[in-house]
Structure 1
């Protein structure tokens, strides 16, 4: 069997939320079929020969279109910026070439931006939306003002129409969680997993730092992450005068870097996030806008850390009560103080979280539904 895998961002290295999902799906498919990967890439240096060897064919095309150009094209063409930003004749030509010369049995499109490359007629197509982007932009609009609010509402409206059209064309529409899938009728969830062998606290050396330590991990130029750490540092941390807050993740914006102080560390990119997770007395995920399953929460649970999260960050995860949910600044501070004051209880909570992840979120178990959807052998 041969599968064409389309991705809006090269699935390697698996060091951020979307790449973790796409990498593990790609790896799962490549063990069961011949895979032809076509993806955009921002930096060729991140792609190693070992990465390329995972698939039978690997075509990576550097993104060159600026956001400003994408916006102009979107306004002129009546399309969402999210689509024009990833509209590229080179990708279209590559897809057409592979479909012409290879007996492709199925197409797996990862992220809604890649749906524009699905042929009108052709092999069975699976659309992995991951999250419902239209809902995300609707939420952005609610927090925006003036022209930006208009732009966000336009994006949400056009994306919603695009998502509905695509869902009607493909054999199956997938999302990362059941709540997310429920937003688009006829869709289903194929949840994220976690590598509990890699994320094993017994195999990790904790970072040497100040305690008590609160840790947040994530891509730090991603707006929901930026908003979360700014809110936490300004609203919650002052209620915890003895605590130290570490913001761990690549590409921190200027607003995030400005948070650095005697009580806040902004690490930027780190070689291995596990050291910081292992050192954490508490891991927080205070996201107000969160779509699907948050890998940062699964990683902290796998590392047996006590987690305090927003309802939005916990919504897509079957945590079975092994993480704590907080709503406002006082709630976060009170919950974190309780965990600081009871190290044995915090440790037991973290251990229960790891057991839950091992039982519920192995990648092979989470991705098994793809066997039927794509006609793969187990």
Structure 2
């Protein structure tokens, strides 16, 4: 097959779960088929995407000059967009220059199928050209924005979240109906789309992990140490660590005064940095070249997410390293895990603190959970196995073997 993989946000650096998933599947797919890569993303110097030219048949990049999040230009642009029915994220990324370039590519080359990676990318697709298109949704965006609205206490941000939720719901429905097929990363997400799409049009592609890169280490853990990893400029991660540090960590400290928490991930904001300034038990690292030493060192890996969608690759990476994990139900949503078998789930601050303390003081239980976690991801979640699922869908769409109702591209 000749495939055009189109993605918003770029692929490098591999600092977000969506990028990690896309990079590994696209790379594996490129070993089997002719895969061209089209991307648009915030401009950076130097541009890391030059590294991809040996991996894919063709790499076409459109760097964008975008305002920083919550900056004055970003706020003014949001205000200007408020009078429209379009989600702000689509207005911000889906520029006319990107739309023109993608149209040129699809008009000048024959592709068996277009893989539209992330919902935002659908905003630049020239649907009128009739290219067979598979939309790869890594989240149900509507769910994320609704959870932002429910969790946020600031009236202004609550209003922003409500508007994005309503406009994103319309966009999500429109583009999933226009696509020939829709991919999700969990059965929970699939269920959300099946409220308005036929069953045969939606397929779940499970989350994978690099089992050779993420594996247990033969080194002792630091007693009474916790770790959280993730891009700290993603709002659900920021909310998670603020929630944990203010509502859960104090309960743990009452029983284990020497407990420490490492927050590992790029671009921590002022709110996160302030947490470390107020509580010496918290260490905020910022961007690191390799998260594995921090995860291996910690006794317990915590995932206190209250907002999110899709699946959390961070959990699979920690499980592949044999870590004992405590997560909220939302944090582990969509993953084939079992509470008490290969991780622990807790949704109230007290329960989360209790389960964290139990693992910090129970090395045998940590070892049991870690071994079970590694065994789970080894069983069927390599990127090779995951790519097999996606490849089958692309082949069937390219050959018109799906019997789903015709896509509505009006």
TM bucket (normalised to shorter chain) is: over 0.9
Deviation at 1:63, TM superposition (A): 1.9
1:221-260 counterparts in 2 under 5 A?
Answer: 221-240=233-252, 241-260=257-276
Please tell me whether residue 200 in structure 1 is matched to residue 188 in structure 2.
Answer: no
Counterpart residue number, 1:38: 38
Change in Cα spacing, 1:70 to 1:29, as seen in structure 2 (3 Å) is farther
User: Aligned partners of 1:335 and 1:352: how far apart in 2?
Assistant: 17
User: Aligned partners of 1:127 and 1:69: how far apart in 2?
Assistant: 31
Deviates more, 1:281-290 or 1:223-232: 223-232
Deviation at 1:78, TM superposition (A): 2.6
Secondary structure at 1:61 match in 2: strand
1:1-378 counterparts in 2 under 5 A?
Answer: 1-42=1-42, 43-47=44-48, 49-66=50-67, 67-68=74-75, 70-119=77-126, 120-144=128-152, 145-185=154-194, 186=197, 187-202=202-217, 211-240=223-252, 241-260=257-276, 261-320=279-338, 321-375=341-395
User: Aligned partners of 1:70 and 1:125: how far apart in 2?
Assistant: 30
User: Aligned partners of 2:220 and 2:65: how far apart in 1?
Assistant: 39
Secondary structure at 1:174 match in 2: strand
Deviations 1:294-338 (A, max 9, x none): 111111101101000001111211124300011222212221222
Deviation at 1:15, TM superposition (A): 2.5
User: Aligned partners of 2:99 and 2:361: how far apart in 1?
Assistant: 58
Aligned length: 374
Secondary structure at 2:129 match in 1: coil
Change in Cα spacing, 1:14 to 1:65, as seen in structure 2 (3 Å) is closer
Secondary structure at 1:160 match in 2: helix
Deviation at 1:142, TM superposition (A): 2.1
Deviation at 1:44, TM superposition (A): 4.5
CA contact (8 A) 2:15 2:231 kept: no
CA contact (8 A) 2:25 2:386 kept: no
CA contact (8 A) 1:73 1:84 kept: no
User: Aligned partners of 2:286 and 2:247: how far apart in 1?
Assistant: 22
User: Aligned partners of 2:324 and 2:302: how far apart in 1?
Assistant: 9
Deviation at 1:84, TM superposition (A): 0.5
Secondary structure at 1:257 match in 2: helix
CA contact (8 A) 1:217 1:248 kept: yes
Deviates more, 1:354-363 or 1:365-374: 365-374
CA contact (8 A) 1:7 1:111 kept: yes
4+ runs of 1 displaced by more than 6 Å? 204-207
Deviation at 1:68, TM superposition (A): 3.4
Change in Cα spacing, 1:323 to 1:104, as seen in structure 2 (3 Å) is same
Change in Cα spacing, 1:206 to 1:290, as seen in structure 2 (3 Å) is farther
Deviation at 1:69, TM superposition (A): 5.3
User: Aligned partners of 1:288 and 1:162: how far apart in 2?
Assistant: 24
Secondary structure at 2:322 match in 1: coil
Secondary structure at 1:314 match in 2: coil
User: Aligned partners of 1:182 and 1:22: how far apart in 2?
Assistant: 22
* TM-score, normalising length: structure 1: 0.93
Change in Cα spacing, 1:117 to 1:41, as seen in structure 2 (3 Å) is closer
User: Aligned partners of 1:151 and 1:226: how far apart in 2?
Assistant: 17
Secondary structure at 2:347 match in 1: coil
User: Aligned partners of 1:48 and 1:146: how far apart in 2?
Assistant: 39
Higher RCO structure, 1 or 2 (CA under 8 Å, sep 6+): 2
Deviates more, 1:102-111 or 1:181-190: 181-190
RMSD after superposition? 2.0
Segments of structure 1 that go 5 or more residues without pairing to the other structure are none
Deviations 1:119-144 (A, max 9, x none): 22322100012111112112212234
User: Aligned partners of 2:83 and 2:53: how far apart in 1?
Assistant: 37
* TM-score, normalising length: structure 2: 0.86
User: Aligned partners of 1:46 and 1:16: how far apart in 2?
Assistant: 17
User: Aligned partners of 2:329 and 2:107: how far apart in 1?
Assistant: 47
Deviation at 1:22, TM superposition (A): 1.3
